[in-house]
């Protein structure tokens, strides 16, 4: 068992979840920003995570079950080098939230003020979900660490 691969997978997962928490915090911080006169309002952001492609391929599915080519799966160096590109931050393209406030200095001619199109409930749920997923990745890394230490302990007693 390659423990470094387990560590790299957990680290990549923690990196993605940290990005999700950071983006949710940024969106929440800008939820009440107002569109400037003639300008644009804050565009909420999203994290798009993508799984790295596996280099394994099936050689066939007929008779005797499935057969896999030897060079299959992820290498820890693949994950370490792709820890950044596994996820990217993109604009959510949400429409601004229009609120009728005719006395506001930045209201348009109809009396509407354009606030950022951030749904605070969705952002809070995203933040909590990312926090729980981060904790799960930490737990997986700690489990892999414990297994590696026990394997070393068994090897030293043999």
pLDDT score at 137: 95
Q: What is the extent of the structural domain holding 118?
A: 3-157
Query: Which of 1, 7, 5, 2 shows the shortest CA–CA distance to 142?
Result: 7
What is the 3-state secondary structure of the chain? CCHHHHHHHHHHHHHHHHHHHHHHHHHHHCCCCECCCCCCCCCCEEEEECCCCCCCCEEECCCCCCEECCCCCCCHHHHHHCCCCCEEEEECCCCCEEEECCCCCCCCCCCEEEECCCCHHHHHHHHHHHHHHHHHHHHHHHHHHHHHHHHHHHHHHC
- Token digits for 88? 């990217």
The number of folded domains in the chain is 1
Query: pLDDT (tens digit, 9 = 90+) per residue, 84-140?
Result: 457 899 999 899 999 999 999 998 899 999 999 999 999 999 999 999 999 999 999
pLDDT score at 3: 81
Q: What average pLDDT does the chain have?
A: 82
pLDDT score at 52: 66
Q: Find out whether 132 and 14 touch, Cβ atoms under 8 Å.
A: no
Whether residue 142 has pLDDT greater than 60: yes
pLDDT score at 17: 94
């Amino acid at each position: 068992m390659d423990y470094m691969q387990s560590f790299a997978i957990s680290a990549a997962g923690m990196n993605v979840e940290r990005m999700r928490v950071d983006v949710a915090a940024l969106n929440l911080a800008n939820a009440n920003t107002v569109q400037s006169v003639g300008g644009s309002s804050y565009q909420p952001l999203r994290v798009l995570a993508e799984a790295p492609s596996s280099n394994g391929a099936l050689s066939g599915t007929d008779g005797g079950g499935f057969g896999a080519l030897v060079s299959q799966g992820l290498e820890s160096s693949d994950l370490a080098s792709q820890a950044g590109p596994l996820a990217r931050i993109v604009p959510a393209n949400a429409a601004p939230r229009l609120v009728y406030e005719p006395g506001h200095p930045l209201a348009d001619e109809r009396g509407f003020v354009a606030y950022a199109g951030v749904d605070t409930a969705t952002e809070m749920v995203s933040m909590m979900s990312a926090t729980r997923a981060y904790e799960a990745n930490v737990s997986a890394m700690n489990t892999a660490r414990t297994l590696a230490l026990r394997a070393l302990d068994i090897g030293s007693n043999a």
